[in-house]
Homo-oligomer: A and B are copies of this chain.
Amino acid sequence: MNTDAFTPDNDAAFSPGELLERLAEQVDALNRPGAIELALESVSSGRIGVADLYTQVLGPLLGRIGSRWQHGTERVWQEHFASHVVRTIIEALYPIVVREASLAPRNGQTVLLVCPPREEHELGARMLSDRFELAGWNAVFLGADTPLAEIVAAARAVRANLVALSVSTVYERVELRSFIDTLRDALPKTRIAIGGPAFAHDPGAWPAEELLDAAHLGLPGAPPGA
């Protein structure tokens, strides 16, 4: 553990892009406490908000980790390490999310956040959960690899107004189509919205009304590169 990491240069004002690069450097150097301290300090010092950290820094950082792994420039164990650093950052921000969310008017709506079966990449859904809470929703996060029948049972139990599915790369669209259709049949009165990397870059011909539209839902967080 590099204790230098705990005395970041407080004078520096990072752009989100610079913060992303500096975080990536710490992760590449396997400096877990350093990376986490850098991110948390950026939020607690007011340099960046939680939602913007998610959309402009951590989301793109996760995309880069996944891409480097896919292109063979990063090993599986490095991807595990890096993902866990990002996860700790996200979870360690939760007390701040709760505090900020308690100041926002609640809208009385409940969103269920899930990844479908075999989808193990849940950090996108986890960040989305916090953004929903910040926007006044009650967010119920179930995470990775949730069976269809369990999504149905949970949506009924918590009286979800919206089921937000986060899908990375594991699903072919024809399979996702039949998944969504079955979910819709089982939950005819619940809105269903799909987000995640599989759709962010290329929604293709997917029906627009099924795509999760963060801006339209009023979720905080500027899009990457904004």
Q: Give chain A's interface residues, CB within 8 Å of chain B.
A: 1, 3, 6, 30, 32-33, 36-37, 40, 69-70, 72-78, 80-81, 84, 87-88, 90-92, 94-95, 98, 101-102, 106, 117, 133, 138, 140-143, 146-154, 157-158, 172-175, 178-179, 181-183, 185-186
Of chain B, the residue at the smallest CB distance from A80 is B142
The complex places the Cα of A78 from the Cα of B172 at a distance, in Å, of 14
Copies of this protein chain in the complex: 4
Partner of A149, one of B92, B101, B179: B179
Instruction: Decide yes or no: A75 and B33 within 8 Å by CB, A91-B91, A95-B92 being known contacts.
Output: no
* A182 B186 Cβ-Cβ under 8 A: yes
The complex places the Cα of A138 from the Cα of B33 at a distance, in Å, of 10
Partner of A77, one of B81, B154, B181, B185: B154
* B80 A150 Cβ-Cβ under 8 A: yes
The complex places the Cα of A133 from the Cα of B36 at a distance, in Å, of 15
The complex places the Cα of A178 from the Cα of B77 at a distance, in Å, of 11
20 chain-A/chain-B pairs, Cβ below 8 angstroms: A1-B98, A3-B102, A6-B102, A32-B140, A33-B101, A37-B95, A70-B172, A72-B174, A74-B174, A75-B178, A76-B174, A77-B153, A77-B154, A80-B142, A90-B91, A92-B94, A92-B95, A117-B147, A149-B175, A150-B175
Partner of A133, one of B1, B87, B95, B148: B1
